[in-house]
Amino acid sequence: EVQLVESGGDVVQPGGSLRLSCAASGFIFTSYALSWVRQAPGKGLEWVAGISNSGISTYFVDSVKGRFTISRDNSKNTVYLQMNSVRAEDTAIYYCAKDEFGISTGGWDHWGQGTLVSVSP
Amino acid sequence: QSVVAQPPSASGTPGQGVTISCSGSSSNIGTNYVYWYQHLPGTAPKLLIYRNNQRPSGVPDRFSGSKSGTSASLAISGLRSEDEADYYCVAWDDSLSGPVFGGGTKLTVL
C-alpha cells in the first residue's frame, strides 16, 4: 500500500524558515516524481514544487522561486521542502503527492494527509 | 486568477448528471494531459481521471473525462450526496514549466 506521511508543519514567524518532510513507502521511490501542493485557508489547491525521480530536475511556482527548495533522499525514501523567507501568504496545508511518472506532469495518484504551516508574528 | 478556468460552482439533484468544464490554452490543455481531482477540504485530494479520460481502479464509472482542443470536461452521472465536494482540473503548462490547477468547482448536491 502506498503511503505518504508529511511532517514538519508548524507556526513560524514571517521571514523565518521551516523544513517539511514526506516519508514514502509502498512503491519504488526512485521511479516516481514527487510534488508539494498546498491549500491556503479559503482558497483552491495550488502546486508549489516538484522534483523528478532522479532529483536532477526541480520545478517551482513563481511565487516561491528563490525562497523554497525541494530535494529528495532516495536512500531514505523521503522528499523535503525547505521553506525560507516565509510570508503570511505561505500559510496553508501542504500536501505531498506522488506523480504517475518519473517526471512531474500534474498526475498525482497518491497523496498524503497534509501538514499545516502557519506564518504568524 | 488561474490560467485554467473552471466555473466556481455547479449543482444537481440526486440521480441527475452534471458536467464541469475546464478551459485552458495551447500551452497547457491543448498539448498535455488533463487530470481531475476530487477534494474535501482538510482531506487528501483524490485522483478521479488521469490522462484526459482514464479512470483509476476504484473510481466509479459514473465519472468520466473528455478533452477537445484547449478544453476538458468532467461528467458525473447519477449524482449521489457523497459527490458533494470540490473538483479541480490540472494540466502541465509548457510556458510556466509546471502543472496548473483550475480554480476549482464546488459541487452541491441539492
Q: What is the pLDDT of residues B15-48, one digit of tens each?
A: 999 999 999 999 999 999 999 999 998 899 999 9
- Tell if the CB–CB gap between A62 and B99 is shorter than 8 Å: no
B93 has a pLDDT exceeding 80: yes
pLDDT tens for residues A60-81?
999 999 999 999 999 999 999 9
Give the model's pLDDT for residue A103. 86
Dihedral over Cα of A115, A116, B1, B5: its sign: positive
Three-point CA angle A30, A33, A36, nearest 5°: 130
Shortest Cα distance, chain A CAs vs residue B13, angstroms: 24
pLDDT tens for residues A15-62?
999 999 999 999 999 999 999 999 999 999 999 999 999 999 999 999
Residue B53 touches chain A, beta carbons under 8 Å:
no
Residue B7 touches chain A, beta carbons under 8 Å:
no
pLDDT tens for residues B64-87?
999 999 999 999 999 999 999 999
Across all residues in chain B, what is the average pLDDT? Answer: 96
Closest CA in chain A for residue B55: A109
For B44, the closest of A60, A106, A114 (CB atoms) is: A114
Give the model's pLDDT for residue A87. 98
